[in-house]
C-alpha cells in the first residue's frame, strides 16, 4: 500500500496532541476523523471547528471530521492513531478491537507506561489483540519525538520518529504522516521509542523542581544529562537499542520537555519547587501530565528489574511520599561518588 492509496485516517483522542496530529493529516489532504469520548466536547468541536478546550486558536482543515462513534470513526480507515492518555488507553483500545479491519496500521502516539501492568502502549495492544494481531495482519507502530501540540498546530517545523518492527512498514507510515513542516524519520526500535518518550516526562518534573527551587542552569543541565543516562539504562534493560536514546525521541524530546515553557510535566515540577501541593497542581491543570502516573509505573519497574535510577526515586518520593523538594535534591547531590 502506498500513501496515495490511504483514503482515511482515524485519530482516537481529541486532546491537544490528538487534535494537532489530526490537523497535520487532514491539512495535507487526507480524509481524517477525530474521535472524542465526550459527546458534548465532540459537538463543540464539530460546531466551532476548533478545539477551544485543549488547543484554542486553530481552525480545523475542511477534511477533518469529528465523531463519538468509535466504529464509524475507524470504519474504512487504513491507519489509526491512538492518542489516549496511558491510564485510559487499554479501556478504549478494548472497545476498538472488534472494529479493527484486516491489514490496518495502529500507531501509538502516547507517552506513558500503564500503572497496573507496567506495559508500554504497544505491549498493551499486543496483549489485548492476542491472536487477532497475526490473524488480521495488524501492524503496530509508535510515533514519538520533540513535539509540543501548539507548535505543530501553528505549523512550526517539527521533527519526529515513527517506529515499526519492520522498516518497510515504518517507511510507509513515514510517508503517511510527513508534511512540509512535520518531518518524520523511520525507525525499528519501538521499545526504545516508547521508553524514552515515557521516562523523559519524569526527568522533566525533576528539572521543573530544580528550576522552581531556583537552582540555576547548571543543575538543569546536570539533570538532563544524568536523566538521559537513567532512561538509557532502563531502556537497554528492556531490550532497546542504546542508539535510540541519542535521537529525536531520546535526547531531543528530553531537552524539549525539560526546558520548554509549554511542557506540562516541567510545569508540575516548577510548582512543586515553588511549594505547591501535588493535588492542588493537578486540580488546576486542564490537561494530563503523563509523568506523574509514569513515575509510579517506573518506580515499580525499577524494583522488578533492579535498575539504578536515583533521579526517578527522588521524584517518586516527592510525588507519592510528600518528600521535601530541597531534601530530595540534597540526597541526590550527597550520594556516594561515582565514575561517569
Percent of the chain scored above 90 by pLDDT?
Answer: 93
- Nearest-angstrom CA–CA distance, 188 and 169: 9
For the chain, what percent of residues have pLDDT higher than 70?
Answer: 99
Residue whose C-alpha is closest to residue 82's, from 45, 35, 46, 116: 35
Residue whose C-alpha is closest to residue 56's, from 265, 259, 266, 286 = 286
pTM of the predicted protein model: 0.95
Q: What average pLDDT is seen over the chain?
A: 95
Q: Grade residue 339 by pLDDT with cuts at 50, 70 and 90.
A: confident
pLDDT digits 0-9 by tens, 295-334? 999 999 999 999 999 999 999 999 999 999 999 988 998 8
Amino acid 340: pLDDT: 83
Give the count of beta carbons closer than 10 Å to the beta carbon of residue 279.
8
pLDDT of residue 333: 84
Which band of pLDDT confidence, cut at 50, 70 and 90, is reported for residue 4? low
Look up the CATH architecture of domain 3-188: 3-Layer(aba) Sandwich (3.40)
- What pLDDT, on a 0 to 100 scale, did the predictor assign at position 238? 96
pLDDT in tens, 54-72: 999 999 999 999 999 999 9
pLDDT value, residue 287: 76
pLDDT exceeds 80 at position 2: no
Write the pLDDT tens digit of every residue in 215-272: 999 999 999 999 999 999 999 999 999 999 999 999 999 999 999 999 999 999 999 9
CA distance 278 to 281: 5
Three-class SS state of 265: helix
Whether the per-residue pLDDT at 187 is higher than 90: the answer is yes
CA distance 315 to 328: 8
Number of Cα atoms under 13 Å in the Cβ half of residue 253: 30
Residue 204 to residue 266: CA distance in whole angstroms: 5
> Comparing 3 with 296, which gets the higher pLDDT?
296
**pLDDT band at 119; cut points 50, 70, 90:** very high
Domain boundaries, the chain: 3-188, 200-333
C-alpha cell at 189: 526500535
Q: What is the structure's pLDDT at 1? A: 53
| pLDDT tens string 133-177 | 999 999 999 999 999 999 999 999 999 999 999 999 999 999 999
Active site positions, annotated: 200
CATH for the stretch 200-333 = 1.10.1040.10
Q: How many CA atoms lie within 13 A of 17 on its CB side?
A: 24
Amino acid at each position: 500500500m502506498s500513501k496515495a492509496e490511504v483514503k482515511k485516517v482515524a485519530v482516537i483522542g481529541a486532546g491537544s496532541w490528538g487534535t494537532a496530529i489530526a490537523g497535520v493529516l487532514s491539512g495535507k489532504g487526507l480524509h481524517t476523523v477525530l474521535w472524542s469520548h465526550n459527546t458534548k466536547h465532540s459537538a463543540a468541536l464539530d460546531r466551532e471547528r476548533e478545539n477551544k478546550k485543549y488547543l484554542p486558536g486553530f481552525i480545523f482543515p475542511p477534511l477533518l471530521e469529528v465523531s463519538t462513534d468509535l466504529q464509524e470513526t475507524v470504519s474504512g480507515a487504513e491507519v489509526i492513531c491512538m492518542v489516549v492518555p496511558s491510564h485510559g488507553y487499554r479501556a478504549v483500545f478494548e472497545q476498538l478491537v472488534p472494529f479493527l479491519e484486516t491489514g490496518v496500521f495502529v500507531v501509538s502516539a502516547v507517552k506513558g507506561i500503564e500503572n497496573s501492568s507496567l506495559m508500554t502502549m504497544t505491549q498493551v495492544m499486543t496483549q489485548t489483540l492476542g491472536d487477532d494481531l497475526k490473524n488480521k495482519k495488524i501492524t503496530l507502530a509508535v510515533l514519538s519525538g520533540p513535539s509540543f501540540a501548539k507548535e505543530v498546530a501553528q505549523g512550526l517545523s517539527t521533527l519526529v520518529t515513527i517506529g515499526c518492527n519492520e522498516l518497510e512498514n515504518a517507511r510507509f507510515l513515514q510517508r503517511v504522516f510527513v508534511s512540509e513542516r512535520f518531518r518524520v524519520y523511520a525507525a525499528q526500535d519501538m521499545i526504545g521509542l516508547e521508553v524514552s518518550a515515557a521516562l523523559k516526562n519524569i526527568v522533566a518534573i525533576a528539572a521543573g523542581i530544580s528550576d522552581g527551587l531556583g537552582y540555576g542552569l547548571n543543575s538543569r543541565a546536570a539533570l538532563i544529562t544524568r536523566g538521559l543516562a537513567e532512561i538509557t539504562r532502563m531502556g537497554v534493560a528492556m531490550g532497546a537499542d542504546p542508539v535510540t536514546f541519542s535521537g529525536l525521541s531520546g535526547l531531543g524530546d528530553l531537552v524539549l520537555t525539560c526546558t520548554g515553557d509549554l511542557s506540562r510535566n516541567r510545569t508540575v515540577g516548577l510548582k512543586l519547587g515553588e511549594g505547591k501541593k501535588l493535588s492542588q497542581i493537578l486540580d488546576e491543570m486542564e490537561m494530563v501530565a503523563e509523568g506523574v502516573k509514569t513515575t509510579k509505573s517506573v518506580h515499580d519497574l525499577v524494583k522488578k528489574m533492579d535498575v539504578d535510577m536515583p533521579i526517578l526515586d527522588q521524584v517518586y518520593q516527592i510525588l507519592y511520599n510528600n518528600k521535601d523538594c530541597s531534601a530530595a535534591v540534597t540526597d541526590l547531590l550527597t550520594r556516594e561518588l561515582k565514575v561517569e
